[in-house]
């Protein structure tokens, strides 16, 4: 009996998922965590075990979809949940891409290429085993562009609406993708010009014709506007609603994006900024245009993709949109390094384009050879970019992966959490999870109720009069990189002693970054 391609694909996906799960669990056992996964773990613990405005935490934690995706795995283990979600999600990403592939090409060569990427590309392994949201970003980025390309071909509302829905999801996986819409503004005009029924083929002359005939001009304006609405209405309205939700529940439109209680990015970006401005080791800065050059280095296959679409201006422009997007990110967030996931999107985009247009190439042999070489180069550049990433946790992932030794990065947080776990259940511990989320992530399930954190109404009164509301306080030491971003640091101790001189704080446990004080009443 011959196994059908889809069954075969399902089997491959299951094997890949097992592979990713093994990697994720193995790395997790070595103690590998990153800020994003720790943040999700901490918020998930609050949602399921906390006391207080848990609904608000659930609704306003951002990015929303990756955070909620971890919920499915909390029954297995809180600390493993993000890694399990990403392992399974990356398997699903493979399935989505591969099923698109088998619908278009009845050719195993491309499947081998895809498998090579998904098995060996360090970026994909990073996506699968890290617990980060990259897998969702890649999936919806892929689906967005896939549907856009399908729309170019079929001109059906279905594909453009699905693209729009994917864009909404993408934005809720990483809010920065909202800026992608900016670069689609001129693109939509070119798409409309292309779709007008004109004898002239050259875009510029089509534009000239359309602007100089009143009826065509009206049609062009109406159609362009309608296309804008169909693509952007859902994302913009969804963002607007989400902002209103933030306004009504947190009195701040941008709470989800700017509060360290709502998203992990805020603190990490600030840290990145601090490191960049104080770093004594000189690193090659990310310069505009060089970013695009770095992308080409990271993913040379995108050049092939551009070559394949060379005959259509607006489709080339579509492919260039992500370039403009990351250049813009660099300008807008000028002190923040471009994260690895923004390079990764080019990997899936390039493969998508190759899938779409590969059959148009006449000399398939040379083409395949070039593709194979490109994939090998990409495997190397993927590794190289991780190794030399300006972001410490990217480098850390590669180091744990290659050295396979215990990761000590979070040991400090785990130590202090271990101490909290050893305390009796009925004590009240005051801590600020804007910076201490890494600690809370390791706290036992039954101890979450003992913690007093900013999402609870009694946190402020606890800060004002710890003698009444807290038995212990967790203070960030001066060595702690994030000490400046929390109220509960050494300066707090000084000020509270000034206000309440009778209070005595007894140092009960100390690590490099944290000190646990017992409030002596």
Regarding 225 and contact with other proteins (CB under 8 A), the answer is yes
Report the DSSP pairing between strands 429-430 and 451-452: parallel
Nearest to 337 by CA among 263, 281, 284, 264: 284
Among 55, 185, 287, 460, binds other proteins (CB under 8 A): 55
Regarding 230 and contact with other proteins (CB under 8 A), the answer is yes
Among 237, 247, 303, 460, binds other proteins (CB under 8 A): 237
Beta carbon of residue 212, minimum distance to other proteins (angstroms, whole number): 20
Regarding 157 and contact with other proteins (CB under 8 A), the answer is yes
Q: Which is nearer to other proteins, 154 or 213 (CB)?
A: 154
Q: Residue 418 and residue 439: Cα distance in Å, rounded?
A: 9
Neighbours of 256 (CB within 10 A): 24
Beta carbon of residue 205, minimum distance to other proteins (angstroms, whole number): 23
Among 7, 233, 247, 293, binds other proteins (CB under 8 A): 233
CB-based contact 37:133 (threshold 8 Å): no
Going across the sheet that includes 429-430, the strands are 451-452, 429-430, 472-476, 514-520, 504-510
Burial environment of residue 405 by CB neighbours within 10 A (0 to 12, 13 to 18, 19 or more): exposed
Regarding 247 and contact with other proteins (CB under 8 A), the answer is no
Q: Residue 271 and residue 393: Cα distance in Å, rounded?
A: 12
Beta carbon of residue 248, minimum distance to other proteins (angstroms, whole number): 8
Q: Which stretch binds other proteins (CB under 8 A): 106-114, 175-183, 217-225, 253-261?
A: 217-225
Among 158, 205, 208, 211, binds other proteins (CB under 8 A): 158
Q: Residue 346 and residue 350: Cα distance in Å, rounded?
A: 6
Beta carbon of residue 486, minimum distance to other proteins (angstroms, whole number): 29
Regarding 307 and contact with other proteins (CB under 8 A), the answer is no
Whose tokens are 């283990």? That residue is: 77
Regarding 156 and contact with other proteins (CB under 8 A), the answer is yes
Among 9, 162, 167, 355, binds other proteins (CB under 8 A): 162
Beta carbon of residue 237, minimum distance to other proteins (angstroms, whole number): 5
**Cβ neighbours of residue 468 under 8 Å, at least 6 residues apart?**
461, 462
Q: Which is nearer to other proteins, 245 or 370 (CB)?
A: 245
Q: Residue 489 and residue 482: Cα distance in Å, rounded?
A: 10
Regarding 213 and contact with other proteins (CB under 8 A), the answer is no
Q: Which residues of this protein are in contact with other proteins, per CB under 8 A?
A: 55, 154, 156-158, 160-162, 219, 222-223, 225-227, 229-230, 233-234, 237-238, 241
């Amino acid at each position: 009996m011959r196994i059908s391609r889809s069954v075969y694909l399902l089997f491959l996906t299951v094997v890949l998922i097992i592979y990713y799960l093994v990697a994720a669990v193995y790395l997790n056992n070595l103690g590998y965590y990153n800020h994003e996964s720790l943040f999700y773990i901490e918020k998930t613990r609050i949602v399921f075990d906390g006391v207080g405005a848990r609904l608000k935490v659930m609704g306003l934690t951002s990015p929303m979809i990756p955070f909620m995706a971890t919920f499915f795995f909390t029954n297995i283990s809180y600390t493993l949940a993000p890694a399990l979600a990403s392992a399974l999600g990356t398997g699903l990403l493979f399935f989505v891409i591969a099923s698109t592939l088998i619908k278009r090409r009845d050719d195993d060569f491309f499947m081998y290429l895809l498998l090579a990427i998904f098995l060996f590309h360090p970026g994909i392994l990073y996506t699968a085993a890290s617990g980060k949201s990259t897998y969702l970003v890649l999936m919806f980025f892929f689906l967005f562009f896939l549907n856009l390309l399908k729309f170019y071909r079929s001109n059906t509302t279905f594909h453009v609406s699905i693209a729009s829905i994917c864009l909404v999801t993408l934005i809720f996986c990483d809010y920065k993708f909202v800026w992608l819409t900016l670069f689609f503004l001129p693109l939509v005009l070119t798409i409309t010009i292309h779709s007008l029924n004109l004898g002239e083929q050259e875009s510029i002359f089509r534009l000239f014709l359309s602007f100089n005939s009143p009826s065509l001009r009206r049609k062009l304006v109406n159609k362009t506007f309608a296309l804008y609405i169909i693509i952007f209405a859902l994302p913009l309205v969804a963002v607007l609603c989400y902002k209103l939700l933030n306004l009504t529940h947190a009195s701040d439109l941008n709470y989800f994006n700017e509060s360290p209680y709502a998203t992990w990015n805020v603190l990490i970006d600030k840290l990145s900024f601090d490191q960049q401005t104080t770093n004594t080791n000189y690193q090659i800065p990310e310069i505009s245009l060089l970013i695009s050059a770095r992308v080409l280095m990271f993913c040379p296959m995108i050049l092939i993709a551009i070559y394949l679409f060379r005959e259509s201006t607006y489709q080339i422009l579509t492919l260039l949109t992500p370039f403009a997007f990351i250049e813009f990110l660099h300008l807008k967030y000028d002190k923040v390094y471009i994260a690895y996931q923004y390079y990764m999107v080019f990997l899936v985009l390039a493969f998508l384009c190759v899938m779409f247009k590969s059959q148009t190439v006449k000399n398939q042999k040379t083409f395949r050879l070039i593709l194979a070489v490109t994939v090998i180069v990409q495997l190397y550049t993927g590794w190289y970019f991780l190794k030399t990433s300006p972001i410490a946790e990217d480098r850390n992932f590669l180091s744990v992966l290659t050295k396979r030794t215990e990761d000590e990065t979070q040991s400090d947080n785990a130590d202090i959490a271990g101490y909290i776990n050893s305390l009796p259940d009925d004590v009240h511990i005051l801590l600020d999870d804007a910076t201490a989320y890494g600690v809370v992530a390791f706290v036992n399930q039954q101890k979450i109720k003992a913690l007093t954190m900013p999402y609870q109404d009694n946190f402020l009164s606890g800060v004002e009069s710890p003698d009444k509301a807290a038995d212990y306080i967790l203070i960030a030491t001066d060595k702690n990189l994030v000490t400046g971003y929390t109220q509960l640091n050494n300066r707090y101790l000084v000020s509270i002693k000034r206000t309440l001189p009778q209070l005595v704080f007894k140092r009960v446990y100390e690590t490099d970054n944290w000190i646990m004080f017992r409030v002596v009443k």
